[in-house]
């Protein structure tokens, strides 16, 4: 029988050396979007290969058209489940450098307040610290038990922060090698500093740009005003009609494939309450959107139609009295459930065309699509993970959704036929993608212990 208590104790005694290894990795300037750092990205991949090889993994850095993929395999006991763990070793650029209070690639331990220590530096939270929680959990388990409780495959990519251009081709080319019983993704966060969370839904996206055209040129508003069609007026009216007085989207068939969240999950979200200062922090106080839904429902389980930008006419300094020949808007739709991103696009276009007056036309441009992800609330893996996270953190695990997207989760589902377990230990104030990124030492430590518990639970 595996000794869980011994593995947890080893995670505790290893913490200092685990932080040293995180510091080593953070010092590597693996900025994926800047070609000047390509050698540093490779160096980070090779660092991970060496670390995993030292733990008994068969690990290698696989070349792609972009930065290398790190792939590693470790056997488990006969009959044990096979899990695939995903993370990324690349980081965002550090600009503006002058806003950092310390060197972003020279990590250090700081005390933010009595008893609260953090490790600073680019990538400490997103995602080097997060991926190392799993690697260090494997270390603790192996050092005490001699083997891992599960068969483990690891995939670390180096382009997540720059579009993951090599990821889909790599998944397709290596599908048989990478396919497992369950994917585990550690690129998410806690509900709050005390409460663990598992994310079970990710919204999809349809991006559209529409341009309304009328006259053959910009017109003098004194000479033509009151007679010529004004594309800015027309576009504004159409966009305004996308929502009714209760905040519902009025595009026909928009809610096809949208399902109600189970009552027990909604009750859990009610107990969580709205995120602290969610609107107040951005100078707002009154929630918008569907009036009969809570803030968390609207953020996680309901679709949206948002106008992201409008252009038309003269927008320079001063004033120019023209009626524009055309006006444009960028519109994004966040999707849930089984909404079809392509059907949403076509229905939006039909909605616009039906509202065009005579002499006007509409042109459209696509800006990407991705389907939403809804994982089963009844998954055995979810139940086991939630239970052991509660043991570790001594707070009930929050089962949450995410307003945004993590494309790899959809790829795992569509290309490898795997559901994912999304467990992360980042905090809201970690400043990911911003100056002064940090990762709480407590989150890092208990994240390691949490993965020890999750691997052990999945094996039994």
What lies within 8 Å, CB to CB, of 306 at 6+ separation is 331, 332, 333, 334
Asked if 205 and 402 touch (Cβ cutoff 8 Å), the reply is: no
Which of 312, 343, 370 is a domain's end point?
370
Name the domain boundary from 346, 370, 394. Answer: 370
- Domain assignment of residue 439, given as a range: 4-202+373-458
Query: Alpha-carbon distance 87 to 158, whole Å?
Result: 9
Same domain? 97 vs 144: yes
Q: Are residues 60 and 123 in the same domain?
A: yes
Residues 72 and 191 in one domain: yes
Q: For position 217, which CATH number holds? A: 3.30.70.360
How does strand 69-74 pair with strand 326-335?
unpaired
Q: Print burial letters for 187-211: b (CB count within 10 Å at least 16), e (below 16).
A: bbbbbeeebbbbbbbbbbbbbbebb
Q: Give ∠ CA 396-397-402 in degrees, rounded to 5.
A: 145
**Contact present, 136 and 18 (Cβ < 8 Å):** yes
Note whether 361 and 412 are same-domain residues: no
Q: CA 304, CA 124: separation in Å to the nearest integer?
A: 32
- Looking at the structure, tell me whether residues 361 and 393 fall in a common domain: no
Report the distance separating Cα 141 and Cα 147, nearest Å: 7
Along the 460 residues of the chain, how does pLDDT read in single tens digits? 679 999 999 999 999 999 999 999 999 999 999 999 999 999 999 999 999 999 999 999 999 999 999 999 999 999 999 999 999 999 999 999 999 999 999 999 999 999 999 999 999 999 999 999 999 999 999 999 999 999 999 999 999 999 899 999 999 999 999 999 999 999 899 999 999 999 999 999 999 999 999 999 999 999 999 999 999 999 999 999 999 999 999 999 999 999 999 999 999 999 998 777 788 888 999 999 999 999 999 999 999 999 999 999 999 999 999 999 999 999 999 999 999 999 999 999 999 999 999 999 999 999 988 889 888 899 999 999 999 999 999 999 999 998 887 888 989 998 999 999 999 999 999 999 999 999 999 999 999 999 999 999 999 8
> Is 288 a domain residue?
no
| b/e per residue 300-310 (b: at least 16 CB within 10 A) | bbbbbbeeeee
Domain membership flag for residue 298 = no
Residue 428 maps to a domain: yes
Closest CA to 68 of 94, 47, 98, 99: 47
CA–CA distance, 67 with 35 (Å, rounded to integer): 10
Tell me, yes or no, whether 11 and 154 share the same domain: yes
Verify that 192 and 215 share a domain, yes or no. no
Helix or strand holding residue 40 (H, E): helix 38-54
Residue identified by tokens 């849930």 is 336
* 286 belongs to a structural domain: no
Q: In what order do the strands lie in the sheet with 361-370?
A: 304-312, 326-335, 204-213, 361-370
Q: With contact defined as beta carbons under 8 Å apart, do 426 and 125 qualify? A: yes
Q: What is the pTM of this model?
A: 0.87
In a domain, 38, yes or no: yes
Q: How many domains does the chain contain in total?
A: 2
Q: Residues 110, 115, 118, 119: is their CA dihedral positive or negative?
A: positive
322 forms beta bridges with 220
- Residue 208 sits in the same domain as residue 172: no
φ and ψ at 386, to 5 degrees? -60, -40
Residue 1 has a pLDDT of: 61
> Are 91 and 219 contained in the same domain?
no
Same domain? 39 vs 94: yes
The position carrying tokens 């806690």 is 190
217 found inside a domain: yes
Do the domain assignments include residue 289?
Answer: no
Spatial CA neighbour of 82 closest among 9, 155, 167: 155
Are residue 136 and residue 210 in the same domain, yes or no? no
Structural domain contains residue 73:
yes
pLDDT number for residue 374: 87
Q: Which residues, including other chains, have CB under 8 Å from residue 330's CB and lie 6 or more apart?
A: 207, 208, 209, 307, 308, 309, 310, 367
Query: CA-to-CA distance for 19 and 17, rounded, in angstroms?
Result: 5
Instruction: For residues 32 and 164, give the distance between their C-alpha atoms in angstroms, rounded to a whole number.
Output: 10
Cβ-based neighbours of 108, under 8 Å, separated by 6 or more: 102, 119, 120, 121
Name the domain boundary from 325, 340, 370: 370
We report the CATH number of the domain holding residue 405 as: 3.40.630.10
The whole-angstrom separation of Cα 408 and Cα 160 is: 9
Q: Are 402 and 203 in contact (CB under 8 A)?
A: yes
**Cβ(149)–Cβ(458) below 8 Å:** yes
Residues 327 and 425 in one domain: no
């Amino acid at each position: 029988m595996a000794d869980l208590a011994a593995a947890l104790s080893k995670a505790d005694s290893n913490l200092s050396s685990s932080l040293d290894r995180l510091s080593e990795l953070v010092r590597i300037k693996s900025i994926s979007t800047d070609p000047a750092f390509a050698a540093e990205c490779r160096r980070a991949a090779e660092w991970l290969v060496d670390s995993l090889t030292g733990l008994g993994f068969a690990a290698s850095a696989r070349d792609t058209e972009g930065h290398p993929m790190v792939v590693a395999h470790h056997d488990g006991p006969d009959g044990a489940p096979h899990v695939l763990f995903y993370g990324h070793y690349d980081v965002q650029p550090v600009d503006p450098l002058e806003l950092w209070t310390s060197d972003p690639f020279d990590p250090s331990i700081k005390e933010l307040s009595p008893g609260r220590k953090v490790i600073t530096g680019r990538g400490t939270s997103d995602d080097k610290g997060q991926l190392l929680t799993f690697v260090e959990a494997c270390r603790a388990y192996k050092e005490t038990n001699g083997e891992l409780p599960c068969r483990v495959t690891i995939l670390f990519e180096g382009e997540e922060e720059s579009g993951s251009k090599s990821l889909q081709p790599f998944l397709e080319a290596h599908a048989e090698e990478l396919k497992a019983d369950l994917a585990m993704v550690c690129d998410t966060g806690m509900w709050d500093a005390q409460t663990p969370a598992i994310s079970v839904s990710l919204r999809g996206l349809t991006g559209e740009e529409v341009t309304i055209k009328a006259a053959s040129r910009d017109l003098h508003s004194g000479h033509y005003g009151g007679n010529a069609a004004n594309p800015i007026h027309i576009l504004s009216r159409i966009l305004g009609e996308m929502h009714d007085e209760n905040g519902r989207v009025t595009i026909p068939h928009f809610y096809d494939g949208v399902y109600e969240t189970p009552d027990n999950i909604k009750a859990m979200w009610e107990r969580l309450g709205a995120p602290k200062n969610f609107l107040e922090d951005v100078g707002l106080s009154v929630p918008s959107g569907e009036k009969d839904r809570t803030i968390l429902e609207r953020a996680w389980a309901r679709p949206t139609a948002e106008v992201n930008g409008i252009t038309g006419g003269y927008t320079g300094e001063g004033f120019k009295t023209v009626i524009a020949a055309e006006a444009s808007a960028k519109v994004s739709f966040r999707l849930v459930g089984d909404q079809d991103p392509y059907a949403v696009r076509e229905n939006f276009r039909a909605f616009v065309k039906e509202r065009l007056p005579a002499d006007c036309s509409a042109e459209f441009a696509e800006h990407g699509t991705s389907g939403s992800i809804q994982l089963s609330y009844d998954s055995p893996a979810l139940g086991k993970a939630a239970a052991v996270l509660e043991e570790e953190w001594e707070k009930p695990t929050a089962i949450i959704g995410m307003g945004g997207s993590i494309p790899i989760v959809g790829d795992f589902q569509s290309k490898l036929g795997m559901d994912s377990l999304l467990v992360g230990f980042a905090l809201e104030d970690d400043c990911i993608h911003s100056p002064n990124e940090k990762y709480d030492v407590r989150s890092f430590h208990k994240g390691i212990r949490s993965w020890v518990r999750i691997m052990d639970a999945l094996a039994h």
